[in-house]
Structure 1
Amino acid sequence: MAPSTTTDAPFGRMLTAMVTPFLPDGGVDYDGAARLATHLVDERRHDGLVVNGTTGESPTTSDDEKRDLLRAVIEAVGDRAVIVAGAGTNDTEHSLKLARQAEAAGAQGLLVVTPYYNKPPQEGLVRHFTAVADATGLPTMLYDIPGRTGVPIQNDTLQLLAEHPRIVAVKDAKGDLFGASRVMAATDLVWYSGDDNLNLPWLSVGAAGFVSVVGHVVGIELHEMIDAYRAGEHGRALDIHRRLLPVVTAIMTRTQGAIAVKAALNLLGLPGGGPLRAPLVEATPEFAARLREDLTIGGVKVPEIAMPEVAR
């Protein structure tokens, strides 16, 4: 079944920024990526997936690996979900190359993060995002996450960028609901929550959906939250939000997201729960034990593990 998109949700409504599975020898596990993508789309109600984003450890995968990973995911689920390729870097020319490569591989959209570390002025952001959007025919989602990049995309800048025909959406991890509300009222930009802590509040001010991290384990529940809110069942949406608080706390507040998600996938016996690339490290046993408890409290069915008998 082809993915369903509309002008008010050009990438679908429930997306997850997918982890990149790695093999024990450090190589990309393309088969594991295909299995994980299939699980998320077919079993967890995902409308789309972001591949090669930060949760996918994009800073430590090569351009060739990014291309091949996209191809593997598109082959697995590209007829049933919108595949959005992370193409943003802090080098405009490199971002253009990744954008063109993603289009050639068959991606259906681009996610372009604010250039990080070099802290460009707003005019630099306008030129950067415009150049990337001009490089392909793909719809583009800007990724505003100043906590990582050091620079916010100012509201005036967003309104200016909204005039570009292929800049159609924002993944917001800035958390300025009032400022975003003003931009949404003044433009056709579509908003996606990029912060699982604020998923429900974002819906309340007009967001189309989520680009999630916890969606790896609670994608169905997040889709139900969106459906409930859009149907006017706000009390039910709030119930889901509150029920998922332990899951969001466990995955989003105690360590880096990819570390937490891979630990969760490992506990659940799902693809993608293997190693990470340096400088990221695997979750400690103590973290995994607490994660198990919080997932269980949040309603996630975690398989039991065989415990060794204790001598008495």
Structure 2
Amino acid sequence: MMTTKGEAFAGLSVALTTPLKNGEVDYDKFGEQIEFQIAAGTHCLCPVGTTGESPTLSHEEHERVIAFVVEKCAGRIKVMPGVGSNSTAEALRLTKFAERAGADAALQVAPYYNKPTQKGFYEHFKVLAEETGLPQCIYNIPGRAAKNIEPSTIIRLAELENIALVKEASGSLDQASQIIAATNLTVLSGDDSLTLPLMAVGARGVVSVVGNLVPGDMLNLVAAANAGNYDEARKWHYKLFPLCRDMLGLSTNPIPVKAAMQMLGRDTGEMLLPMTPLDETEMASLRKTLVAYGLL
């Protein structure tokens, strides 16, 4: 059996929201969110990903958030910030910054919008793996990037020392199975509601959005699946499923999770344009979901 690269990042990673107040990052509130996750026993924090509104933060804010989270965590929990871009040079600059700041790994989204070829994907991730020392997590999300990183490309990339993880958000169990069977990479689910099926075929955890609200429940699911206790894991899957489906299905991430955190008194709910808040009907639907879950 090959030893698995990236095993240190197995378990629950939470894709943190970025709390805002009057258009600025609210670092006091951010500090509270971090302490909440550490107290829950979360294994790793992923700031400035999709959930953290990285596309709309300025480059300066993006870097400041990374440095803040690393400093605040002070080695108590792993930090894997989103540092990807559709420009290889920009992704490399951000990754080098995260490395200097003391991050533990780098979450690299597939280059979006410009739709590279598979060769382009390979060369992009190869540069990031070879020119920095951080373990790299390839984040495959064709729904947002407009292009799939094919399993054959990831299998080739797995030969590079610093390519350690895959955040799999293609929605394809076949694709995840192919990667798990052919490589020694640690695969993490990129969709909350697919965590259990993916772990059943060998994924090692999840980068979670609902973990912002209920990290304990997601930890229970992951622990049960890890122990091979699928009756218990299914129980947590079906408890979490309506929250995942009804909350995240309402609108584009992070709109619903920010609204939910606002309802729970943990966030202002503020976002940066072009992200806009839920309307009244959607807010009423979300409130119902949170009440049904027992959060409100």
TM-score interval for Structure 1 and Structure 2 normalised by the shorter chain: over 0.9
Mean Cα deviation higher: 174-183 or 158-167: 174-183
1:239 to 225, 235, 240: 235
Match of 1:177 among 173, 178, 186: 173
User: Counterpart of 2:163 in structure 1: which amino acid?
Assistant: I
Shift of 1:235: 0.7
| Deviations 1:202-243, CA, capped at 9 Å, x for gaps | 110001100011111121101101111222321111011111
For residues 72-83 of structure 1, what are the structure 2 equivalents within 5 Å?
72-83=68-79
Indicate the residue corresponding to 1:219 in structure 2: 215
Instruction: Give the CA RMSD over aligned residues.
Output: 1.4
Structure 1 Cα separation of the partners of residues 268 and 160 of structure 2: 39
Partner of 1:32: 29
Equivalent AA in structure 1 for residue 286 of structure 2: L
Count residues with an aligned counterpart.
Answer: 293
Q: Map residues 99-178 of structure 1 onto 2, 5 A cutoff.
A: 99-178=95-174
Out of 285, 288, 293, the residue aligned to residue 293 of structure 1 is 288
Q: What amino acid maps onto 2:196 in structure 1?
A: L
* Structure 2 residues not aligned, in runs of 5+: none
Q: Does structure 1 residue 280 correspond to structure 2 residue 275?
A: yes
CA contact (8 A) 1:12 1:82 kept: no
Report the equivalent of 1:201: 197
Give the % identical residues: 38
**Alpha-carbon distance between aligned partners in 2 of 1:55 and 1:282, rounded to the nearest angstrom:** 14
| Pair 1:70-2:70 in alignment | no
Which of 7, 10, 28 is 2:8 aligned to? 10
Report the equivalent of 2:49. Answer: 53
For the residue of structure 1 that corresponds to 2:166, the secondary structure is strand
Largest Rg, 1 or 2: 1
Distance 1:12 1:185, change over 3 A: closer
User: What is the one-letter code of the residue matched to 1:297?
Assistant: A
Deviation at 1:7, TM superposition (A): 4.9
Hey, what's the Cα distance between the residues in 2 that align with 1:121 and 1:275? 37
Residues 1:8 and 1:122: Cα distance change in structure 2 (over 3 Å): closer
- SS of equivalent residue, structure 1 residue 60: coil
Structure 2: distance between partners of 1:62 and 1:133: 24
Segments of 4+ moved more than 6 angstroms: none
Paired residue secondary structure (1:52): coil
What's the counterpart of residue 266 of structure 1? 262
CA contact (8 A) 1:158 1:183 kept: yes
Q: Distance in 2 between matches of 1:132 and 1:8?
A: 16
CA distance in 2, matches of 1:116, 1:288: 30
Q: Is the 8 A contact 1:192 1:210 kept in 2?
A: yes
Asked whether the equivalents of residues 193 and 209 of structure 1 are also in contact (C-alpha less than 8 Å), the reply is: yes
Q: Which amino acid aligns with 1:269?
A: G
- TM-score of the aligned structures, taking structure 1 as reference length: 0.90
- Secondary structure of 1:143's partner? strand
How far apart are the structure 2 equivalents of 1:111 and 1:17?
11
Deviation at 1:40, TM superposition (A): 1.6
**Counterpart of 2:88?**
92
For residue 17 of structure 2, what is the aligned residue in structure 1?
Answer: 19
Query: Aligned partners of 1:116, 1:200: CA distance in 2, in Å?
Result: 27
